[in-house]
Amino acid sequence: MRPIKLIILLFLLSACTGHYDADDYDLVKLKAVAGQLFDAPTNGWRIEKQWWPSDINELNPESIIKNEKGIYIKLDSFFVEESGLFIPSPGTTIEPGTHADPSYLLLGDGIYSYYVTG
């Protein structure tokens, strides 16, 4: 295989997004600071970085969106794919599963991994 093809293949494989594991996060800590995100002002739907709690900032999110469903903490994206953590608004019902778009997997403590395929 030519070196350039190998480099492109490695780039594509490393750029894939997907669901996350509960073991990667302190879910209790994230749940504790979720209220600060729900109370934060938005610019449209986007919560500006100045309003991110330090425990969220440590995740190095690409962006944080707040809408009627809840808080989307985008951790990774590649073209039209996107993945991250989701905290539903009180009273919002989420159907976990991987066959919808976006798909949700419950990590625990009311925090989900989400994945959008575009």
Task: List pLDDT tens digits, range 4-48.
Answer: 544 443 344 344 557 787 878 899 999 999 999 999 999 999 999
Element at 35 (helix H, strand E) = helix 27-39
Alpha-carbon distances, residue 36 vs 33, 76, 97 (angstroms): 5, 22, 27
| Angle 70-73-76 from CA coordinates, rounded to 5° | 140
Whole-angstrom distance, CA of residue 81 vs CA of residue 77: 5
The answer to whether residue 10 sits within a structural domain is no
Q: Which pLDDT score, from 0 to 100, does residue 110 have? A: 92
**Mean pLDDT computed over 64-73:** 96
Q: Which pLDDT score, from 0 to 100, does residue 56 have? A: 95
The answer to whether residue 2 sits within a structural domain is no
Domain membership of residue 52 as a residue range: 17-116
% of the chain with per-residue pLDDT over 90: 62
Task: List pLDDT tens digits, range 73-109.
Answer: 999 998 889 999 999 999 998 888 777 788 999 999 8
Q: Domain total for the chain?
A: 1
The answer to whether residue 93 sits within a structural domain is yes
The answer to whether residue 51 sits within a structural domain is yes
The answer to whether residue 5 sits within a structural domain is no
Question: Are 91 and 110 a contacting pair, CB within 8 Å?
Answer: no
Q: Which pLDDT score, from 0 to 100, does residue 99 have? A: 74
